[in-house]
């Protein structure tokens, strides 16, 4: 039987960034379900703090070379890849000199939340979609982790809704407690609208703070995951009111098995797996 396909879209994964609950969780889930029976692909941004030499990143020429237009400006898309040897898993990195060269993750040189984080998030999510298309790979589930991946369900449901690589994919968005201080650019809605996406009903119209960015992921995902014990009550209430299938927080012991069962339930309901 052909393996079901899970696409992981994450802002971080161990060992490429400093350890965090998000990075460790994505590593454990992806490796665990891969070792069971799933075919997976993992994408993250190539932040400047990722040590390319230590982790042996190299550019994939056949996947690079495309330009993505974000807010009417061309940005070259560079794709790099590295392996997690112990897990026998490849991780694809979305790279661009302007967005990801600096030796920071989300802050600028002055230690403040970078003004271009909105464009970086859009570029990252669109870059993932375009690269998956180039790979000729059609995921059954797109599992997004962390606020930077919150734009992925929005774009898949709008800009890529008729694309044959994604038309049958179910999206899952997992929320975590490590948000950000401040707000994304106050022109974020204009940048989304530039891509032909209606913005009048987006939760971001209230403000582009961390909670609302996470709510955006919840708004457009088919299913939800709770990745941390410490999620604020406003966000939890929004998730509950959405009525969408939700995988509650799981401790380390149950993490892989719970996700495996949740994925299989989603796949069965989508006709990918037989009951």
> What is the residue-level pLDDT of the chain in tens, covering all 275 positions?
688 999 999 999 999 987 799 999 999 999 999 999 999 999 999 999 999 999 999 999 999 999 999 999 999 999 999 998 788 899 999 999 999 999 989 998 888 899 999 999 999 999 999 999 999 999 999 999 999 999 999 999 999 999 999 999 999 999 998 889 889 999 999 999 999 999 999 999 889 999 999 999 999 999 999 999 989 999 999 999 999 999 999 999 999 999 999 999 999 988 776 44
**Domain map of the chain by residue range?**
4-269
Residue with tokens 């939700």: 246
What is the rounded CA–CA span in Å between residue 247 and residue 223? 8
CA–CA distances in Å: residue 189 to residues 63, 86, 206, 224:
29, 42, 11, 23
Taking each helix axis from N to C end, the angle separating 21-36 and 255-269, rounded to the nearest 10 degrees, works out to 60
pLDDT value for 273:
65
User: Distance of alpha carbon 137 from its chain centroid, rounded?
Assistant: 17
Give, in degrees to the nearest 5, the angle at Cα 75 between 112 and 195.
Answer: 90
User: 176, 41 in Cβ contact below 8 A?
Assistant: no
SS3 2: coil
User: Distance of alpha carbon 12 from its chain centroid, rounded?
Assistant: 9
**Helical segments of the chain, H only:** 21-36, 52-55, 97-100, 117-135, 151-157, 188-194, 210-220, 233-242, 255-269
SS3 40: strand
pLDDT value for 184:
95
pLDDT value for 1:
62
CA–CA distances in Å: residue 67 to residues 58, 59, 120, 126, 245:
19, 16, 14, 11, 36
Tokens in use for 108?
Answer: 């600028």
pLDDT value for 153:
98
At the topology level, CATH places domain 4-269 in Rossmann fold (3.40.50)
């Amino acid at each position: 039987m052909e393996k079901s396909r899970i696409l992981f879209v994450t802002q971080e994964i161990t060992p490429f960034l400093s350890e965090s609950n998000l990075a460790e969780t994505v590593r454990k889930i992806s490796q665990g379900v891969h070792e069971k029976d799933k075919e997976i692909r993992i994408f993250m941004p190539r932040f400047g703090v990722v040590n390319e030499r230590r982790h042996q990143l190299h550019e994939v020429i056949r996947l690079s070379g495309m330009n993505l237009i974000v807010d009417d400006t061309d940005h070259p898309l560079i794709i790099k890849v590295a392996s997690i040897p112990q897990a026998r898993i490849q991780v694809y990195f979305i790279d661009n000199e302007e967005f990801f060269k600096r030796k920071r993750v989300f802050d600028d040189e002055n230690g403040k939340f970078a003004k271009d984080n909105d464009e970086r998030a859009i570029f990252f999510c669109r870059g993932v979609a375009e690269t998956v298309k180039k790979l000729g790979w059609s995921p059954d589930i797109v599992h997004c982790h962390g606020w930077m991946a919150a734009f992925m369900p929005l774009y898949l449901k709008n800009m890529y809704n008729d694309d044959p690589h994604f038309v049958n994919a179910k999206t899952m968005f997992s929320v975590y407690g490590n948000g950000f201080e401040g707000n994304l650019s106050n022109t974020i809605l204009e940048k989304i609208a530039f891509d032909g996406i209606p913005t009048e009903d987006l939760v971001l119209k209230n403000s582009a703070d961390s909670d609302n960015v996470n709510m955006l992921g919840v708004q457009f995902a088919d299913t939800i995951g709770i990745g941390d014990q410490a999620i604020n009550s406003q966000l939890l209430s929004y998730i509950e009111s959405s009525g969408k299938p939700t995988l509650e927080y799981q401790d380390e012991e149950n993490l892989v098995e719970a996700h495996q069962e949740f994925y299989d339930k989603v796949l069965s309901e989508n006709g990918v797996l037989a009951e």
